[in-house]
Structure 1
Amino acid sequence: MKYMLTYDLMEAARNTNQWLGATAQAIGSYPAVAMNPAMGLLRAWGEVTERSFARMIAKPDWGIPSFAGPDGRDHVVSVETLVSKPFGDLLHFSVAGREPKARRILLVAPMSGHYATLLRKTVVSLLPDAEVFITDWKNARDIPVSAGKFDVEDYTLHVVEFMRHLGDDLHVVAVCQPAPLVLAATAYLAEEEPEAQPRSLTLIGGPIDPDANATDVTDFGHSVTMGQLEETMIQRVGFKYAGVGRMVYPGLLQLASFISMNASTHTQAFTNQIFAVAKGEGSDHDRHNVFYDEYLAVMDMPAEFYLSTVERIFKGREIIRNVFEVAGRRVNFDKITTVAVKTVEGEEDDISAPGQCAAALDLLTGLPESKKAWHVEPGAGHYGIFAGRSWRNNIRPLVLDFIDANAEAPANRAVAAE
């Protein structure tokens, strides 16, 4: 599958489905046939189909709403870029007319097929109480081949650079996939530049030890060889995009994988939406569109990042075995001695099951027990632990309390490097 033709054919199929949806919508809306109930269903099918396939290549806007502050004024939020690199930017959500908050939180977004905007609700929930920063990873199809490679080590070093830029009065929250790499970045700083370490680290639903509690995701990683994975999942970007020729794991393939895990649920959701639109009950910002506009917007991952994640994090379990290397040097997790670490897991998480993330606490042998904390949210699935009701009502207050409890700079940081 590693050919431009394959990538272009996949894009052509997506574009054709979008065109079919637009055509059906136009035919069903024609006044001469619009009164026919069947034509109403055709129009509704076309509207839902066209919107869905169009969203697959569009990066969602952050769309952070203004909010009322304690001064009674509405504060407008703007997005500013602090550090720009070929594969990702460091963003700051600047709140106009407000004094900087003491809490400074860096959200490390996953590079797992969706844009960082997947954490929009997380950002919105934290903004009233903190200065919020986020890693905004770029779509690999738009990155020229001349920019070079990007694998798990490069990801780790990007996080290191972002931490250094923001300073030590920082609290880092890693969501899902980046949890093991953010832990590695912290261990890297613990040896190389201990004064640049964050004050706390919250790991949410990440695969520190993928074998601690197997899921379909981990089973898939063990059931295929790296050769099979490279041959069936990797494609070369076609001529339409700036990254022409770059080897990637296409977002459309990842989306197909996501949907197949809960195919019946998604089928029912789209069926219900078609009938709702046909009855005039659908709207541009209804619950279905708000969710799927984000869910269907996918990005390509650099092939070397995807393959090295599977090989080193899932198959080799290099993090939990404490043998992970960055730039030719092994990072020692027992060197983390002053950074408070909290793990958060969802009881019903079918992507990173309970136990996978909490394994980080046993790995940190140099960290006092008083600096460790963990939480398993009853009844919560994967998305609920960082963006749903469980996050808003239960987990977010716990995370903010953990941050406040560890807001003071550790006094023995310089000693930790000796």
Structure 2
Amino acid sequence: MKYMMTYDLMESARNTNQWLGATARAFAAYPMMSWGANPAMDWLKAWGEVTERTFSRMVMKPDWNIPPVTCDKGKDHPVVVETVLERPFGDLIHFTIPGREPSKRRVLLVAPMSGHYATLLRKTVISLLPDADVYTTDWHNARDIPVSAGKFDVEDYTLYLTDFMRELGADLHVIAVCQPVPLALAATAYLAEQDPSAQPKTLTLIGGPVDPEANATEVTDFGRSVTMGQLEETMIQRVGFKYAGVGRMVYPGLLQLASFISMNAESHATAFRDEIIRVAKGEASEHDRHNDFYDEYLAVMDMTAEFYLSTVERIFKGREIAQNAFVVDGHQVDMGKITTVAVKIVEGENDDISAPGQCLAALDLLTGLPDDKKASHLEPGAGHYGIFAGSSWRNNIRPLVLDFIDANAGKKTKKSGKVVAIK
């Protein structure tokens, strides 16, 4: 499948479905169709509206759209997104709040590169902003990166994280979510050996595959059941002429989305059927629950082929992180060299992506870290999304993480449970 033709064929199918939806909506909205009551036209228009929106979102990067932050004096402050460090495959961005004094908590939120944009963590950012100065990694869509920019694999990802940590300085607290958990751990260990003064104060690891074999899921079972040759042959395609990354080998976002949806196909089909019914009845809205979720869920990005394949081969199959045998830029990283960075593990009891135990395995690797700098939390009843963006995160996990940050920051701050700016 490593051809531009297959990549363009998927894009053509997406574009055709978007056009069909737009055509159905326009046809049903034609004034002549309103001469009398015609339920069929209402259903056609509803189907067209939902279909057009669904397929158009697949190639759009969502906006951060962060609402103003209310500080302790009751004044609303706008949030401005600024680029701190710009790199070919991803930027370090800062959510600045003009008019607010700098917060004592400086947080780097490491977003996943697993098919969705960093805006997947929008709700996480919103929840942290009243209590912290927030930075995040904003990974770029591989289809938009020229081949001349070179490769980007798990080692490059790790080095990006070390550069971002150096840029922000040692008075920093890192929170890694899902896919980047093992690489954030490796980046911290790399700094512990190469540049100890650039290490963060704390490292919070949320639902990531440090040791995928600690508790098997469908994801790990799939990784074991296929060979690298099969993955490269069936998953990798070459970007077509439409985008700046023409010729780059990628794992296409549309192909990833098909995999995501197939895991829960029945529930997704039900969700779209119910939304069409709501639109036909006039009960839907621009920002209803369905649109808020699927506008983000359907927005997918291509990953470089080397990043996807090296993740499967080295993190899942080879378990290099779990075995403390991960090599970055010719240097074998030793997790045992982390001796001063406090580490907290957060897992969800019902996480079917990174099951309980996969992330907790990180603590066993930290042989040089005192026990009083290790912590863990298993959130009862929480799934994968809930531990970083749902009610479990907002009500239970976020306060625990902020308390952990404060306890290891070396200075006193206000109680984390209060939604006020820390000055």
- Larger deviation, residues 53-62 vs 29-38: 29-38
The structure 2 residue matched to 1:101, chosen from 86, 100, 103, is 103
1:282-301 equivalences under 5 Å are 282-301=284-303
Q: Secondary structure at the match of 1:293?
A: helix
Residue 324 in structure 1 maps to residue 336 in structure 2: no
Per-residue deviation, 1:264: 0.8
Q: Secondary structure at the match of 1:85?
A: coil
1:67-125 per-residue CA deviation (whole Å, 9 max, x = no partner) reads: 22112211000000000000000000000110000000000000000000000000000
Q: Secondary structure at the match of 2:12?
A: helix
Q: What is the CA–CA distance in structure 1 between the aligned matches of 2:351 and 2:29, rounded to whole Å?
A: 43
Q: Secondary structure at the match of 1:129?
A: coil
Residue type at the aligned position of 2:405: I
What's the counterpart of residue 111 of structure 1? 113
Structure 2's unaligned 5+ residue stretches are: 412-423
Q: What is the CA–CA distance in structure 1 between the aligned matches of 2:48 and 2:345, rounded to whole Å?
A: 44
What's the counterpart of residue 144 of structure 2? 142
What's the counterpart of residue 153 of structure 1? 155
Q: What is the CA–CA distance in structure 1 between the aligned matches of 2:258 and 2:406, rounded to whole Å?
A: 41
Per-residue deviation, 1:197: 0.3
Q: What is the CA–CA distance in structure 1 between the aligned matches of 2:47 and 2:198, rounded to whole Å?
A: 54
**Identity, % of aligned positions:** 77
What's the counterpart of residue 21 of structure 1? 21
Q: What is the CA–CA distance in structure 1 between the aligned matches of 2:70 and 2:200, rounded to whole Å?
A: 29
Residue type at the aligned position of 2:221: D
Residue type at the aligned position of 1:211: E
The TM-score with structure 2 as length reference comes to 0.96
Q: What is the CA–CA distance in structure 2 between the aligned matches of 1:67 and 1:134, rounded to whole Å?
A: 17
Per-residue deviation, 1:316: 0.2
- Superposed structure 1 runs of 4+ greater than 2 Å apart: 31-35
The TM-score with structure 1 as length reference comes to 0.97
Per-residue deviation, 1:31: 2.5
What's the counterpart of residue 409 of structure 2? 407
Structure 1's unaligned 5+ residue stretches are: 410-418
- Larger deviation, residues 314-323 vs 26-35: 26-35
1:283-317 per-residue CA deviation (whole Å, 9 max, x = no partner) reads: 11111001000000000000000000000000000
1:260-303 per-residue CA deviation (whole Å, 9 max, x = no partner) reads: 11111111100000000000011111110010000000000000
1:393-415 per-residue CA deviation (whole Å, 9 max, x = no partner) reads: 00000000000000029xxxxxx
Report how many residues are paired. 409
Q: What is the CA–CA distance in structure 2 between the aligned matches of 1:260 and 1:368, rounded to whole Å?
A: 43
1:268-347 equivalences under 5 Å are 268-347=270-349
Residue type at the aligned position of 2:151: K
Q: What is the CA–CA distance in structure 1 between the aligned matches of 2:336 and 2:394, rounded to whole Å?
A: 33
1:325-376 per-residue CA deviation (whole Å, 9 max, x = no partner) reads: 0001100000001100000000000000000000000111111110000001
Q: Secondary structure at the match of 1:2?
A: coil
What's the counterpart of residue 10 of structure 1? 10
What's the counterpart of residue 413 of structure 1? none
Residue type at the aligned position of 1:29: A
What's the counterpart of residue 175 of structure 1? 177
Q: What is the CA–CA distance in structure 2 between the aligned matches of 1:238 and 1:6, rounded to whole Å?
A: 9
Cα RMSD, aligned residues only: 0.7
Per-residue deviation, 1:32: 2.4
Residue 162 in structure 1 maps to residue 171 in structure 2: no
What's the counterpart of residue 416 of structure 1? none
Q: What is the CA–CA distance in structure 2 between the aligned matches of 1:320 and 1:73, rounded to whole Å?
A: 47
Q: What is the CA–CA distance in structure 1 between the aligned matches of 2:237 and 2:373, rounded to whole Å?
A: 44
Per-residue deviation, 1:160: 0.2
What's the counterpart of residue 57 of structure 2? 55
Q: What is the CA–CA distance in structure 2 between the aligned matches of 1:176 and 1:373, rounded to whole Å?
A: 18
Residue type at the aligned position of 2:123: K
What's the counterpart of residue 78 of structure 2? 76
What's the counterpart of residue 421 of structure 2? none
1:213-224 equivalences under 5 Å are 213-224=215-226
